[in-house]
A and B are shown apart, each in its own frame.
Chain A
Amino acid sequence: MITVIKKGILSTGKRKAGQIIQPKVKRGKLSTAQVKRGILSNLPPEVAARGEAPQPSMDRRDGAGNRGRSYARGNARGRGWRGRCEDRGRPSTQPPPSTASAAAVIPSDAPPVVGTCPDMCPATERAQRERLRDLAVFERVCSDPMRTSRSLAVKKFCRTISSTGIQASDIRPLPVLRETMDYLWHLLNSSEYPFEIVHDFIFDRTRSVRQDLSIQNLVNDQAIGIYEDVIKFHILSHQRLARSCQDSDASSLCYLNTEQMMKCLLSLFDMYHTIHKINSQSNKEAEYYSFFVLLHMGCKIPKMANSLSFWYSQLPASIVRSKEMIFARTILRCYHLGNFKRFFCMIADEATELQLCLVEPFLNEVRARALMYLNHSGYKLQHHPLTHLSDILMIEELELEDLCRICGLEISRSGDTKAFAPKQTTFSLPTPLSKSSGIYISREIKR
């Protein structure tokens, strides 16, 4: 049977002390998507959004893998896209039922909201959060939890928006969003605070940026550029969080990060598809598609709804045959076929910076698997020297020693050389959950 995706209720990660948790969804509050539909169709949003057809149990919002291009969902295909970050409130992914009247078929030339907010954070929100002391550390003037400024405050992600409350002055137009993104990017590299805190802030604020883009239905080169930057952020976080993953809190951050990255990628693919129709193209497309493939190496990620096979079948041939995609497909194949030598060689030779960041947290898993095969199939009396292995698996010898120990392999010494003897029955593949042992921290890849 097709794999089930569990509907996940996400938390937005840790809250810092003093930060007010978003109020729970009240009845009557609607998600952005519903609001958008409501505004555009001039119908009460509840009617437009309610589907009569039986609910498909696949919840595509939660990290479902999908085709590379926009698929029929919710509203008419190709009429635009819906960002996925705010879709949580949507009750149905079926098209509007025919009984909801002809107006439910949303006319594609209805004008979407055009934002007019000139700052990174709307003034009303700034004032409110100052009052409520709901300011992140980065937003405080002189560390005063009750003061912020135009240049420091960044609009927060809002899970639900009341349909009557949406104002153009609360939504940031494209140039402001670009500035916001640049500012957040600059913040990423400021190492004053622990990375988890920086990550949490940028995670939330970029989600809000995506939300604003989505409400305004912006699909063009700049919007795509912003999305690509957001994904870059997620990938860098992916790498850094994995490196510092010493406790369970960080590992849940990892998981949430990957999930959000997935949603972002899927939205981005929809956008690529939309601009293809007007014969435009991003020059980074192939690389971003390849990220989706590479994410399949991590078994921590919830299994995507449709398989990779299906996803390929929906992609244009030019993408599938691109250099970056061939790289991703090949190393995935090497991984499945157990060809570790080629796996690591290819990564060393061909991976782009971002691809490397993305696969880094998976590398130790691959190495552990390699040890498993070698341990199983090797000859008991001929030990496997660690130096040789560290070359093939591209890992420092000391790291390799640690890894062996974590896997339950005893290292033998003869003179200067360390090795492990195959056929040790104490071997066990470390479960993915044991992050505290640091197994998924990868080290330098020798180039």
Chain B
Amino acid sequence: TPTPSAASGTPTPPSRRLLGSAFLQEFRNWETPWAMEAMHMVALEIRLLAEKADRELVMSGKNPDKLQAAGSFLMKVFGALAVKGPKRVGALYVTCQLFKIYFRLGTVNLCRSVIRSIETARNFDFEDFPVKDKVTYMYYTGRLEVFNENFLVADQKLTYALMHCNPQSESNLRKILKFLIPVKLSIGVLPRRTLLEKYNLLEYADIVTSLRRGDLRLLKQALDRHEDQLLKCGVYLVLEKLELQVYRRLVKKIHIIQREKEPSKAHQIKLEVLVKTLQWLGITMDVDEVECIMACLIYKNLIKGYFAHKSKVLVLSKQDPFPKLNGKPV
């Protein structure tokens, strides 16, 4: 069925939904999923129409409740599909439609019940779902994991989405990367600039540079400049935490410089030196603050060594003072 053109004023979602409801009733009764594609079409149309209707409602100052109603309807469709048997394979598509609605409405906690339904299926293998549905599913659930700062799981899911995504679909790849890159950064994996350029994700460019250089000032500037955008995506807090990695890089650079000047004493870094370095970067911090941060870096195993309080010296371990993150989030 061709999508009805909504050229003439507000489309009528209620009647659309009645049609959908009627179709759903029949669909439930059919034993085989022969009408699955049609069901999916109905689901997609309902969502798109509802979005459009809501936009128009908002413009005329009324209450936008159509998308929410669409979500309710799609839940019923989901219920009809997420059953044992051949209909189940179509359930993921509807799940993704629901995700899109919930993300749009901001009611992402409603995702949980459908996720549970999908992931606790006993007689059904996730891999049996169509690829494009799996990619979309992993993208959205990956994003939810980013919100909850479960970086390892987010990495898995978003990487899966990336790997299985259609390589021609640049806009989809970009969407996945937008969230995957901060996750990767937090486990110490840096993207090349060419990647950022290719997918137009240059808001991350300065952040990546600051990680490579240990440039705390640059990190703060980058976060500030893109604050609104990053907050809206929900990745700001993830990137903010990269501060520790930047400190670590800074200390490492100082260590390298000292090693060239005086190898025998390179593993001892005076806290005063750090204070001066930060000052040079335009950041005012006193020795106590630096000590706090060093204590934290050591505790979190970003730096191996210890600090001597009285002498105000950071003493690095002679072996492997800057252990790699090894894929574990800080």
Binding site for B on A (CB under 8 A): 1-3, 52-58, 60, 64, 67, 71-73, 76-79, 93-95, 97-98, 105, 108, 305-310, 312-315, 317, 320-321, 333, 336-342, 370, 372-374, 376-379, 381-384, 392, 422
- Whether A2 and B106, one on each chain, are in contact in the complex, defined by CB atoms closer than 8 angstroms, is no
Decide if the interface of chain A is mainly helix, strand, loop or mixed.
Answer: loop
Partner among A3, A372, A378, A381 whose Cβ is within 8 Å of the Cβ of B148: A3
Interface string of B51-79 (1 = CB under 8 A from A): 00000000000011101110111011001
- Whether A312 and B113, one on each chain, are in contact in the complex, defined by CB atoms closer than 8 angstroms, is no
Kindly list chain B residues whose C-beta atoms are within 8 Å of the C-beta of A64: 109
Q: Given the complex of chains A and B, what is the CA–CA distance between A271 and B231 in angstroms?
A: 23
Given contacts A54-B75, A56-B113, contact A382 B149 (CB under 8 A): no
Kindly list chain A residues whose C-beta atoms are within 8 Å of the C-beta of B113: 54-58
Kindly list chain A residues whose C-beta atoms are within 8 Å of the C-beta of B299: 338, 372-373, 376-377
B309 within 8 A of A: yes
- Whether B294 and A377, one on each chain, are in contact in the complex, defined by CB atoms closer than 8 angstroms, is yes
Q: Given the complex of chains A and B, what is the CA–CA distance between A127 and B63 in angstroms?
A: 44
Q: Given the complex of chains A and B, what is the CA–CA distance between A54 and B107 in angstroms?
A: 15
B237 within 8 A of A: yes
Partner among B76, B238, B292 whose Cβ is within 8 Å of the Cβ of A309: B238
Kindly list chain A residues whose C-beta atoms are within 8 Å of the C-beta of B309: 378-379, 382-384, 422
- Whether B228 and A317, one on each chain, are in contact in the complex, defined by CB atoms closer than 8 angstroms, is yes
Partner among A58, A77, A93, A314 whose Cβ is within 8 Å of the Cβ of B65: A77
Kindly list chain B residues whose C-beta atoms are within 8 Å of the C-beta of A108: 63
Nearest A residue to B68, CB-CB? A72
Binding site for A on B (CB under 8 A): 17, 21, 63-65, 67-69, 71-73, 75-76, 79, 105-113, 115-116, 144-150, 153, 227-228, 231-238, 240-241, 243-244, 286, 288-289, 291-296, 298-300, 306-311, 315
- Whether B295 and A376, one on each chain, are in contact in the complex, defined by CB atoms closer than 8 angstroms, is yes
Can you pick out 29 interface pairs between chain A and chain B where the beta carbons lie within 8 Å of each other? A1-B150, A1-B153, A2-B112, A3-B148, A52-B76, A53-B75, A54-B75, A71-B105, A76-B65, A77-B65, A78-B64, A93-B110, A94-B72, A309-B146, A312-B231, A314-B106, A315-B231, A337-B244, A338-B293, A338-B299, A339-B289, A339-B296, A341-B286, A341-B291, A373-B296, A373-B298, A378-B308, A379-B315, A382-B309
Partner among A77, A79, A310, A392 whose Cβ is within 8 Å of the Cβ of B288: A392
Minimum Cβ distance to chain B for residue A47 (Å): 16
- Whether B295 and A72, one on each chain, are in contact in the complex, defined by CB atoms closer than 8 angstroms, is no
- Whether B107 and A71, one on each chain, are in contact in the complex, defined by CB atoms closer than 8 angstroms, is yes
- Whether B292 and A60, one on each chain, are in contact in the complex, defined by CB atoms closer than 8 angstroms, is no
- Whether B240 and A333, one on each chain, are in contact in the complex, defined by CB atoms closer than 8 angstroms, is yes
- Whether B307 and A377, one on each chain, are in contact in the complex, defined by CB atoms closer than 8 angstroms, is yes
- Whether B75 and A312, one on each chain, are in contact in the complex, defined by CB atoms closer than 8 angstroms, is no
Most buried by B among A55, A309, A377, A383: A377
Q: Given the complex of chains A and B, what is the CA–CA distance between A370 and B307 in angstroms?
A: 14
- Whether B72 and A2, one on each chain, are in contact in the complex, defined by CB atoms closer than 8 angstroms, is no
Contacts A373-B298, A382-B310 known; 8 new A-B pairs at CB < 8 A:
A54-B79, A98-B17, A307-B149, A307-B234, A377-B295, A379-B306, A379-B309, A382-B311
- Whether A341 and B294, one on each chain, are in contact in the complex, defined by CB atoms closer than 8 angstroms, is no
Q: Given the complex of chains A and B, what is the CA–CA distance between A97 and B240 in angstroms?
A: 42
Q: Given the complex of chains A and B, what is the CA–CA distance between A57 and B243 in angstroms?
A: 36
Most buried by A among B106, B241, B286, B298: B106
- Whether B148 and A374, one on each chain, are in contact in the complex, defined by CB atoms closer than 8 angstroms, is no
Kindly list chain A residues whose C-beta atoms are within 8 Å of the C-beta of B73: 98
Nearest A residue to B105, CB-CB? A72
- Whether B244 and A2, one on each chain, are in contact in the complex, defined by CB atoms closer than 8 angstroms, is no
- Whether A377 and B306, one on each chain, are in contact in the complex, defined by CB atoms closer than 8 angstroms, is yes
Partner among B108, B240, B241 whose Cβ is within 8 Å of the Cβ of A310: B108
Q: Given the complex of chains A and B, what is the CA–CA distance between A409 and B111 in angstroms?
A: 46
Q: Given the complex of chains A and B, what is the CA–CA distance between A384 and B309 in angstroms?
A: 7
Partner among B147, B232, B295, B310 whose Cβ is within 8 Å of the Cβ of A338: B295
- Whether A338 and B106, one on each chain, are in contact in the complex, defined by CB atoms closer than 8 angstroms, is no
Given contacts A3-B148, A71-B107, A377-B299, contact A370 B292 (CB under 8 A): yes
Given contacts A53-B76, A94-B72, A97-B72, contact A373 B295 (CB under 8 A): yes
Nearest B residue to A306, CB-CB? B109
Minimum Cβ distance to chain B for residue A371 (Å): 10
Kindly list chain B residues whose C-beta atoms are within 8 Å of the C-beta of A315: 231
